Chains A and B, each alone.
Chain A
């Protein structure tokens, strides 16, 4: 995924002054941020609680119950103190990140202040018991007579809706805070942290975890070899798009949304405007998917939680939306299962959706190189475009995956390869880092909403592009994804919660 909107499309169509080169790209920055938070969390293992002040939000009936520091060590801070400390820490760290990206730090800090407080306020609202309480006992505990039973994680939708409101009702404000609207950076950082969390979850059931990984291979085959070919054919044959438009469109719809569209556009030497416009479409349809598919999954697939998880990873495009959809699906299915008396261990649905997505991401560079080779050597050989080179595979490799692998491996080693007195503290240590992961998810949801100006897209009049997307996504990709998820994941369920 990449932070693109129609404003980027406009800038891609009109001459602009060259922006200063960043010291580091967003992928590597996400690795640094994610690993930094992960390592600080691990200090608990040597009895130093460095980040225990990070704010955690619980389901609440009155506001005083909502917030608190994640660690009891910092209990004197109180909920508001923890929230302010979290905001201040993120402001400092992300402002430094903005400086490394050569963004105006003052503008970033102001924009981030608005992004953080609006996003977190919507997250708190979403945790109100009338939205989040699941069982009758919880409703009674929090003193509410009814509940939407969305669970606490369902509050991500509130952050998304807040972003959508800003994008579509007060677009000038959306433009004013655009410097801090960076779903790409937020979700990649979250995914790096998620690696450690998923490792701790998987450590108890290594057999199941390795089975899930093997099934991820099927997802790669499906996305690259089947989806891509069909969508490319539809775009070229039925809708009459040129090769320059059809290839990024096919990659955007079938592989991994924005990053795949941009990688393919670069590889086939398309004009910059092509993948940017495709990316705007990807983001908008991803929002629709996030708002619809998790609820369909809860209704129809609550008995097959990992089919639902794989479906989110395969059908929802862009990393942020897919992993977030996995999170919402987990909360909805776990809530429904709990209401029926089955208590699944949390983390498996989210971890499966994220793993499927990461597996798919790994091959973006290779696929882009394959397409680039075909385009520059056969299809556009006479156009004088420079030939695709193997080093582009590494250039287009999504580097944040390295961070995910490192935290996963480290988490697994700490949980399984260390003495019992250390291993017993690993879940708490990674849990502190994971609280930051939740906050980065909230920021991602809000940012995706802010980037999704539906009115602007329709006004531009690119209905033909949207039609290909609509036909391919909801006529093919979503349903084939469901069939293949069923084929490879049915009968697998998360372990029971202890």
Chain B
């Protein structure tokens, strides 16, 4: 087996058999904050979009 094939096999094995890494509180916070800020900003932008006329 060549170096490249060995590396590929190792990586494939890593992807399929890696031990589970539970979501840490920091990650949960990142996901929740990101979604919350994103949805809030989208709501604000949608309101601006609705009330401010397009300058066509």
Q: Which residues of A come within 8 Å of B, CB atoms? A: 10, 13-15, 205-208, 210-211, 214-215, 217-218, 221-222, 224-226, 228-230, 232-233, 236-237, 240-243, 245, 273, 277, 374, 378-379, 460-462, 464-465, 484, 487-488, 491-492
Contacts and interface: CB of A to CB of B under 8 A. Distances in A.
A484 B42 CA distance: 9
B54 A218 contact: no
A491 B49 CA distance: 12
A240 B15 CA distance: 9
A240 B20 contact: yes
B34 A225 contact: yes
A221 B41 contact: yes
Given A13-B4, A374-B26, A488 B46 contact: yes
A462 to B, nearest CB: 7
B49 A215 contact: yes
Interface string B21-44: 101101100111011011101100
B1 interface: no
B42 to A, nearest CB: 6
Nearest to A212: B54
A15 B38 CA distance: 42
A207 B56 CA distance: 5
Contact of A236 (B3, B27, B39, B56): B27
B38 A13 contact: no
A221 B45 contact: yes
Given A236-B21, A237-B23, 9 more contacts: A13-B4, A13-B7, A221-B38, A225-B41, A232-B27, A240-B18, A273-B7, A484-B42, A491-B54
B20 to A, nearest CB: 6
B15 A245 contact: yes
A250 to B, nearest CB: 10
Interface residues of B, number: 32
Interface of B: 3-4, 7-8, 11-12, 15-16, 18, 20-21, 23-24, 26-27, 30-32, 34-35, 37-39, 41-42, 45-46, 48-49, 54-56
A464 B15 contact: yes
Contact of A379 (B20, B27, B32, B38): B27
B27 A243 contact: yes
A277 B14 CA distance: 14
A229 B15 contact: no
Contacts, number: 100
Contact of A14 (B4, B27, B48, B49): B4
B34 A217 contact: no
A237 B12 CA distance: 19
A226 B56 CA distance: 29
A374 B48 CA distance: 32
B12 A207 contact: no
Contact of A229 (B8, B34, B45): B34
B3 to A, nearest CB: 5
Contact of A225 (B3, B16, B37): B37
Contacts of B7: 10, 13-14, 273
Nearest to B22: A236
A345 to B, nearest CB: 12
Given A211-B56, A236-B23, A13 B11 contact: yes
Contact of A462 (B15, B24, B39): B15
B49 to A, nearest CB: 6
A368 to B, nearest CB: 14
A226 B55 contact: no
A230 B23 contact: no
B55 A208 contact: yes
B24 A379 contact: yes
A14 B21 contact: no
Contacts of A206: 55
A13 B12 CA distance: 12
Contacts of A460: 8, 12
Contacts of A245: 15
Nearest to A487: B46
A232 B34 CA distance: 11
A272 to B, nearest CB: 12
B4 A10 contact: yes
A459 B49 CA distance: 47
28 contacts: A10-B4, A10-B7, A13-B8, A14-B3, A14-B4, A207-B55, A208-B55, A210-B55, A218-B46, A221-B38, A221-B41, A222-B38, A224-B34, A226-B42, A230-B35, A232-B27, A236-B23, A237-B23, A241-B15, A242-B18, A243-B21, A243-B27, A461-B12, A464-B15, A464-B16, A465-B15, A488-B46, A492-B54
B42 A229 contact: no
A228 B35 CA distance: 9
B33 to A, nearest CB: 8
Contact of B38 (A205, A229, A461): A229
Contacts of A229: 30-32, 34-35, 38
